[in-house]
Amino acid sequence: MLRTIQIVGMLMAALLLNACATKTEIETSYSKATKFSDFKYYRWHESAGKSIKDDSADAEQIDAIIDDNVRFMIEKQLASKGLTRRDEGVVDFLVNYHLTAKEQVDVDTHKVYDGYSQSFSTYNGIGYAGQYYGGVMMTMTAVPVEEQMVTRYRKGTMIVDFVEPDNNKVIWRATAQKELTDEQLGSADRDKLIDKTIGKLLAQFPPK
């Protein structure tokens, strides 16, 4: 459990760090059959606030403070769009979010030219620079050698889902992905960046 909290803490710091060289990638997808303009009420999905451990299908509850802050920030963004949380009664959709941190391996193949890789060609009966070399002249040409570069890193992902209440089907999804770093943030900076990223995730809702 402690390792899970540490992973999520690193994810939230690195995933949302704007100063990093790699930028946060945002993607959205949605059901075209859904009329989002009619949405007014929502409730949290029962599985909201879960974090998937590295290379595992097991989900554990993330740190309670981070979970409370993420929920508060999502609710604030939804309220700005005229949407209201309702814990009882009929709602138009359920809100879910989760975080992952997984090891990634990228393999790139490059062609490298060097003086040790050579091809040979021979020609019969050729004189060269006034000399005759037994009827054979040899030329050597460098040829490319394929070299593989392996990069290992951890990729962090934050997903916000809107779910159909009746059949538990995802009808809208926003995803943020970023290569993680070891840089840590203070809680105030972390919360500010979380809020900014959630704003980016929800900026495309409702879809137009």
* Domain residue spans of the chain: 2-104+153-202, 109-147
Q: Which residues contact 197 (CB under 8 A, 6 or more apart)?
A: 15, 16, 24, 158, 176
Q: Give the C-alpha distances (Å, rounded to integers) separating 185 from 19, 190, 194.
A: 11, 6, 11
3-state secondary structure of 172: strand
Are 29 and 204 contacting, i.e. CB atoms less than 8 angstroms apart? Answer: no
Mean pLDDT, range 17-34, rounded to an integer = 77
CA 53 to chain centre: 15
Are 14 and 178 contacting, i.e. CB atoms less than 8 angstroms apart? Answer: yes
C-beta neighbour count of 194 within 10 angstroms: 22
pLDDT per position as a tens digit, 130-152: 454 455 555 555 567 777 776 66
pLDDT per position as a tens digit, 112-128: 665 544 444 555 554 44
Mean pLDDT, range 3-20, rounded to an integer = 48
pLDDT per position as a tens digit, 36-76: 999 999 999 988 766 544 444 444 555 788 888 899 999 99
Query: Among 74, 71, 25, which Cα is nearest to 175's?
Result: 25
Are 97 and 73 contacting, i.e. CB atoms less than 8 angstroms apart? Answer: no
Instruction: Give me the architecture of the 2-104+153-202 domain, per CATH.
Output: 2-Layer Sandwich (3.30)
* pTM metric for this prediction: 0.65
| Residue bearing tokens 């620079």 | 129
Q: Exposed, middle or buried by CB within 10 Å (0-12, 13-18, 19+), for 152?
A: exposed
Alpha helix (H) residue ranges in the chain? 2-15, 64-79, 187-202
pLDDT per position as a tens digit, 76-102: 999 999 999 999 999 999 999 987 767
Beta strand segments in 73-206, E: 84-85, 93-112, 118-124, 127-128, 131-132, 136-142, 145-163, 170-179
